[in-house]
Amino acid sequence: YYIVPERRPSKTLLVEQIRKEVDAWRDSGYTNPTGISNTSLRLLEWWFDETHYINEKEFKFYFCQREAIETIIYLYEVKGIRDNAVLAELYMDPQAYGDDLFTQRKKIIETAKNERILVRRVPETGQVAQQELPPQDLTRYAVKMATGSGKTIVMALSAVWSYFHRKYEKDSPLSKTFLIIAPNVIVFERLRLDFENGTIFTKYSMLPPEWKHDWQMTCIMRGESRKSSTEGTLYLTNIHQLYEDKNNNEYNSNPVQKLLGSPPKAEVGSWEEDLLERIKKHNELLIMNDEAHHVHDVDLEWYKVIMNLHENLKQKHGKGLSLHLDFSATPKDQNGTYFPWIVCDYPLAQAIEDRIVKAPLIVHQIDRADPVKYSRASVAYADWINTAISRWKEHYDAYGKVKKKPVLFIMAEDTKDADDIYEFLQTKEEFKENHTLLIHTDKKGEISKKDLEASRKAARSIDLPENKIRAVVSVMMLREGWDVQNVSVILGLRPFTSKANILPEQAVGRGLRLMQDIGPDYIQIVELIGTQAFEDFVRGLEVEGVGVGVTKTPPPLGIHVYPDRIKSIYDIEIPVLTPSHTRQFEGLSLFDISNLPKNPMNLTTKEGMITKVELIETVTQKKVGQKQVVIDTGIPEC
């Protein structure tokens, strides 16, 4: 492989054409084409043209975050594209039409508009794909961003934009009510750290200072019964909290109830209302899906919940959802085809080159066949396990000097193997007792109920300095949400099959997030160790343009730079001075006002206008009266 110095092209359906327009729009200062509102323009200027600080350090949003919110604003407001069939008509990659561009184009677009089915060729496979489009009255955009590149920031920026647009712009179709849906409890817990009490909005200075008092937002987390008393409301939950109760045995077995519907719920206070019912009471709503590759099919319950909310709004208020946004690193359907409504693409290869995430590197030091039959995994895979431990120890020593704690992530074949490897680690001083976390998942990466609470706690705290976990053992690399910054070594001891429905980026992604405060010029690496089957699986990233290096000798873990304390006596403190501003007028004595042109605008005046002025006492600044005065100078009439 080789590094491409330019921007990575997108393999998605629409992005290449959209990207060109958004780039030109940005270069014009958002003036060409016209159509941006004053609200949107002010937000873009505040976010990307002005300086922000976090803990007294200058902070800038990533370009990929900027491009994502710019694209949403450009398509929704400037271009006014609300129908996904029109989106395809304007921006679809010409290769997707097949060989006969002129004949096929008309047929494909007509089918998309009339039947809401997009039939198109997938260039990378040459196969024909049929994908269902959202209804004509539901605008759905997807943002594809690599794991660790900050999708949550874009979600928050989208909420701020929609809120202020709805508040300040006349007849705005956007919303001040938001629903963010996570696929499971682990992802919910990660999002909760950002959105609870509106932390993310203030931490990253998303609100222009002159608008802060108008930001009235209540953030309600799953399980909270408090009501919203502000203009805006943001709900955050996992999708399971929104499912209707369809598993009620009494309801399913009672033919009368099946005919007449379920009985009404008992009377409860509004503070005890079901979350879904509370959301339905709002007259506007914008929905954002995190890890949205779970919402790839119209027959899925998740999608049905969204359509239920959309139809509820239409019936009660005449219009449905303001906007439906998807966020995912891998927004593909069950056939592996990208969603046809992806409008922005920041691939993993680009994120690695931009040093937004760690670079994956295969450390190949075991040259023997993968074990087939064995009774104990810790014995059969001893060489791989010991190699991973050795690499982790080196990381532990190196990162410990900068007060970081690297984590070893081990992925086993099944629950029996995971238990055995966990017991083996208990014989190692470094991993005894609470230094190792065992999580049982099924082969699709879903966490077992008995390990759910431990996983939730670890997801919140494993990166904290006081946390003692040094290794995690799991049946399957957790598919999403469990994103730990401190994972620096991943050990894969299981094969991957299509039945597992796991993508390489989802597995490796658990270790891609950068450790913070390591050093601006240091390239962080996540080392991948494992069986031949695991290595082959990881190389699948190369299909997406990600260069995965292979080495027998791992690279050095950086150079530690320390201040020379002996020279501290030469430290010169630069004083912070109060800023001052003066004006220097020169040449006023040479200026002749009589040389100015007389009345160049041809204005007429009204003389002797009468007005009222308030009388203010100088010392106390209290109003003591008012009087009428005649202004002798003329006031221009326009």
3-state secondary structure of 326: strand
CA pair distance 389, 528, nearest whole angstrom = 12
Q: Is 480 exposed, middle or buried (0-12, 13-18, 19+ CB in 10 A)?
A: buried
Q: What is 245-268 written as a DSSP string?
A: ----HHHHH-HHHHHH-PPPPPP-
**How many other β-carbons are positioned within 10 Å of the β-carbon of residue 267?**
6
Please tell me whether residues 342 and 397 are part of one structural domain: no
Q: Is residue 338 part of a domain?
A: yes
- Specify the long-range contacts of residues 291-294, CB closer than 8 Å, at least 24 apart: 291/182, 291/183, 291/187, 291/327, 291/328, 291/480, 291/481, 292/142, 292/326, 292/327, 292/328, 292/331, 293/328, 293/330, 293/331, 293/332, 294/183, 294/239
pLDDT of residue 248: 47
CATH of the domain at 488: 3.40.50.300
∠ CA 611-616-621, nearest 5°, is 150
**Residue 610 confidence (pLDDT) above 70:** no
CA pair distance 270, 225, nearest whole angstrom = 9
pLDDT of residue 617: 65
Residue 75 DSSP label: I
CA pair distance 340, 100, nearest whole angstrom = 20
Please tell me whether residues 385 and 477 are part of one structural domain: yes
Strand 549-551 with 359-363, pairing:
parallel
Report the residue count for the chain. Answer: 638
CA pair distance 500, 442, nearest whole angstrom = 9
Q: pLDDT tens across 28-75, in order? A: 999 999 999 999 999 999 999 999 998 888 899 999 999 999 999 999
What does residue 486 show for φ and ψ, rounded to 5 degrees?
A: -90, 0
Please tell me whether residues 403 and 292 are part of one structural domain: no
**How many other β-carbons are positioned within 10 Å of the β-carbon of residue 451?**
16
With bands split at pLDDT 50, 70 and 90, how would you rate the model's confidence at 622? low
3-state secondary structure of 467: coil
Please tell me whether residues 35 and 183 are part of one structural domain: yes
Query: Which of 518, 551, 584 represents a domain boundary (last residue)?
Result: 551
pLDDT of residue 135: 94
**Residue 513 confidence (pLDDT) above 60:** yes
Higher per-residue confidence, 78 vs 433 = 78
Please tell me whether residues 374 and 305 are part of one structural domain: no
**Residue 259 confidence (pLDDT) above 70:** no
Give this prediction's pTM: 0.80
Please tell me whether residues 281 and 217 are part of one structural domain: yes
CA torsion sign for 413, 415, 421, 422 is positive
Please tell me whether residues 192 and 280 are part of one structural domain: yes
% pLDDT > 90, the chain:
50
pLDDT of residue 477: 53
Alpha carbons within 13 angstroms on the beta-carbon side of residue 181 total: 27
pLDDT of residue 595: 86
Q: Is residue 243 part of a domain?
A: yes
* Dihedral angle, C-alpha 428, 434, 437, 439, nearest 10 °: 120
Please tell me whether residues 328 and 293 are part of one structural domain: yes
Q: Is residue 593 part of a domain?
A: no
**Nearest Cα to 155, choosing from 219, 223, 230, 208?**
219
**How many other β-carbons are positioned within 10 Å of the β-carbon of residue 235?**
26
Please tell me whether residues 217 and 344 are part of one structural domain: yes
3-state secondary structure of 419: helix
Q: pLDDT tens across 132-185, in order? A: 999 999 999 999 999 889 999 999 999 999 999 999 999 999 999 999 999 988
**Residue 612 confidence (pLDDT) above 70:** no
Q: Kindly give, in sequence order, each residue whose CB lies less than 8 Å from that of residue 459, ignoring residues fewer than 6 positions away.
A: 186, 189, 190, 481, 482, 484
Where is average pLDDT lowest: 42-51, 106-115, 339-348, 496-505?
Answer: 496-505
- Range(s) of the domain holding residue 621: 602-637
Give the count of domains, the chain: 3
Q: Is residue 587 part of a domain?
A: no
3-state secondary structure of 435: helix
- Specify the long-range contacts of residues 590-595, CB closer than 8 Å, at least 24 apart: none
Q: Is residue 565 part of a domain?
A: no
Q: pLDDT tens across 197-240, in order? A: 999 999 999 999 999 999 999 999 998 888 888 999 999 999 98
pLDDT of residue 270: 44
Please tell me whether residues 310 and 448 are part of one structural domain: no
CA pair distance 556, 222, nearest whole angstrom = 45
Please tell me whether residues 342 and 403 are part of one structural domain: no
Q: Is residue 119 part of a domain?
A: no
165 touches 174 (CB < 8 A): yes
Q: Is residue 501 part of a domain?
A: yes
- CA 365 vs. chain centroid, Å, equals 36
Please tell me whether residues 148 and 218 are part of one structural domain: yes
Q: pLDDT tens across 525-560, in order? A: 999 999 998 898 888 888 777 888 899 998 888 888
Q: Is residue 9 part of a domain?
A: no
195 touches 219 (CB < 8 A): yes
